[in-house]
Structure 1
Amino acid sequence: MRIAETVTFGGSALDRAAQLRRDPQALVTALERGRILPLWRGKPLMRGDQPGWLPPGHPALAPAAPPVFLGLDDGIPRFAAELSAWTPAADQDSVPPAFFDPSVQHHPDLPPDWGFAELRGVMTLLSPRAAELVATAKALLQWHASHRFCAACGAASDLAMGGWQRTCPACGAHHFPRTDPVVIMLVTRGNSVLLGRDAGWPDGMFSLLAGFVEPGETIEAAVRREVQEETGILCGPVGYLASQPWPFPASLMIGARTEALSEAITIDPEELEQACWVSREELVTALAGLNPQIKPARKGSIAHFILQNWLADRLD
């Protein structure tokens, strides 16, 4: 797919400068002239429609955890730091519903138009470079928060390599950030596409089917298995379309396409609440917000990206 990397969080040619990760003094020097993006409970600091980068030593960073190195942005060292130790005012606490947190938290040491916002709500506003940096920051900091102890011996591990490794001082084991591969597939049959919805999603929202790749499994096999498990539909050859880093918390969405060999749907209720075939014409009205039964996947997701380009015949 020639326009694959135009998906949200797609490649922006960020220089991740991996050579600096191995040089502690170089990282110290980079931090002195760099900028830091704080995140609070996974929500990046936003200044309008752009990330809120702060200089080292800014008062708002006082309770932050050690920063992690993201890379060089046109020569500017970029870092991220978790600010979870900060407690917002009682009337600013997050509102964590099942799918999306619309609340914004404001720090007293920052201008009133700066705030910590849910990435799902602002991801389509970001430039490709800003999106890549924020997605990297969110995924990397979440990994550190959930992998504080050594998987080999259970001892507390230490941040290393600018945040791209954790090292166990007890047994010497090294641990590296993980990304979970997920297949997400455009399943078509004639003029229609197969869509499904999870019980926890907003009312009426449908998306492409998706699922985790299992150990020892190819992408193609995962596509066929997931579709069959969730809907009972058999699929033919599988082709690659595009990929998307998805930091919720740390997946790589692998977009694929396949043609259904059968039509009858048998839902696995533990996987899906509903699945249906949707014609091109019905999908057009859904993407325009005019279909009372079907709401499309969120803008910025690879599902929305693939469906839009399927309708526009741009999947080559």
Structure 2
Amino acid sequence: MTPSFAERLTLSRAELDRDHLSRATPIDELLDAADARVVLLHDGHALVDGTRLVLLPTGAAAAVAARADGFALYLGRTLVDAPDAVLGAPVSALVITDEQAASAAVDAARASGHDLAWGDLRRLGADMTTRDAGIFTEALALANWHRSYGFAPASGRATEHGQAGWVRVDAETGKEFFPRTDAAIIVGVTDADDRLLLGSNALWPADRFSLLAGFVEPGESLEAAVVREVFEESGVRVADPRYLGSQPWPFPASLMLGFLARVADGAGVETRPDGEEILDLRWLTREELAAAVADGALRLPGRSSIARAIIEEWFGGDLGDDSW
């Protein structure tokens, strides 16, 4: 991974000690620490002040209200001293309900003296500090896992929180279930003329384009997944997948593994959208892509995504547009 590419992976940044040893501590003790801080999560969003993640003291009115009915997840300890959290402060996320969200935001705004809002990581992640981007990403990924694993897969029995939010437990058998992450590849495909292949997904507006991507199947290597997914979605055969880097994408629970691959020797460049997931495919030179973005004819992924990082790695610079 080149230094420039690593710097583009805005959700891979972290400045928090995940402090696995403290996960055995009851969550109430971690929340009750004098220097403890909490992040409020609601419906996949976090409470923010502009692009700054709001870290509330546990004694703040909003945090107390949220703690009464929501659930808490321990994230770790701060690695740097900051005005809103001292070095080594335990940081947790409080996942709150729809009913609590409005009052929690009002109470937090009153306590802080600022106008606060519920922020989207996809839109804000690239502009957040390293600490805040890492906390938000970790908190959202863990919260999304809890949302999906409320019941034991085999028995259907309800599971309970354990290890400060890092495990769910079948209360009857004691069987533990740990967080899962779905591996997905995403590929910048180039041809002999160094054009880049972009596709438009059926769920997007027609002018929105990104790279081809897909989940890794059971028993499949990452490289094999690259070759398979590109062919399934475009009809193009690729070779020599080259790994670039990875980034968590907690929407809801993916780890995106970035690659570059070239059209295989002897293979054609004629594209065949699958017609279900991918509706349109385009080969673009750097000049064509820059012109389409500048004219507003084509929208690219936002700067928080690894897709954008791979596109700009190929392009050789910042494309400027951030319309997602």
- TM (norm. structure 2) is 0.86
Correspondence for 1:63: 66
CA 1:125–1:191: 2 relative to 1, 3 Å: same
Write the deviation string for residues 20-69 of structure 1: whole angstroms up to 9, x where unpaired. 112338x7146422100011111100012110111113221313423111
**Greater helix fraction, Structure 1 or Structure 2:** 2
1:82 matches 2:87: no
Correspondence for 1:227: 230
In structure 1, how many angstroms separate the alpha carbons of the residues matched to 2:214 and 2:32? 39
1:109 matches 2:111: no
In structure 2, how many angstroms separate the alpha carbons of the residues matched to 1:163 and 1:196? 38
Correspondence for 1:263: 269
In the TM superposition, residue 147 of structure 1 has moved relative to its aligned partner by: 1.2
3-state SS in 2 of match to 1:57: coil
Q: Which structure 2 residues correspond to residues 143-292 of structure 1 after superposition, within 5 A?
A: 143-189=145-191, 190-261=193-264, 262-286=268-292, 289-292=293-296
Correspondence for 1:96: none
State, as a whole percentage, how many aligned pairs show the same letter. Answer: 36
In structure 1, how many angstroms separate the alpha carbons of the residues matched to 2:11 and 2:32? 24
CA 1:29–1:234: 2 relative to 1, 3 Å: closer
Write the deviation string for residues 92-123 of structure 1: whole angstroms up to 9, x where unpaired. xxxxxxxxxxxxx9822122511112222211
3-state SS in 2 of match to 1:109: helix
Letter in 1 for 2:135: L
Write the deviation string for residues 138-191 of structure 1: whole angstroms up to 9, x where unpaired. 111111122111113111111011111001111221111111011000100122
Unaligned runs of 5+ in 1: 90-104
3-state SS in 2 of match to 1:107: helix
Correspondence for 2:82: none
Number of corresponding residues: 296
Farther-moved stretch of structure 1 (247-256 vs 52-61): 52-61
Question: Which of 302, 307, 310 lines up with 2:306 in the alignment?
Answer: 302
Unaligned runs of 5+ in 2: 80-87, 319-324
Stretches (4+) displaced over 6 A: none
3-state SS in 1 of match to 2:57: coil
User: Retained in 2: the 8 A contact 1:135–1:245?
Assistant: yes
In structure 1, how many angstroms separate the alpha carbons of the residues matched to 2:206 and 2:101? 31
In structure 2, how many angstroms separate the alpha carbons of the residues matched to 1:212 and 1:232? 17
- TM (norm. structure 1) is 0.88
User: Retained in 1: the 8 A contact 2:185–2:257?
Assistant: yes
In structure 2, how many angstroms separate the alpha carbons of the residues matched to 1:88 and 1:136? 20
In structure 1, how many angstroms separate the alpha carbons of the residues matched to 2:42 and 2:200? 30
Letter in 1 for 2:106: P
In structure 2, how many angstroms separate the alpha carbons of the residues matched to 1:291 and 1:188? 23
User: Retained in 2: the 8 A contact 1:12–1:128?
Assistant: yes
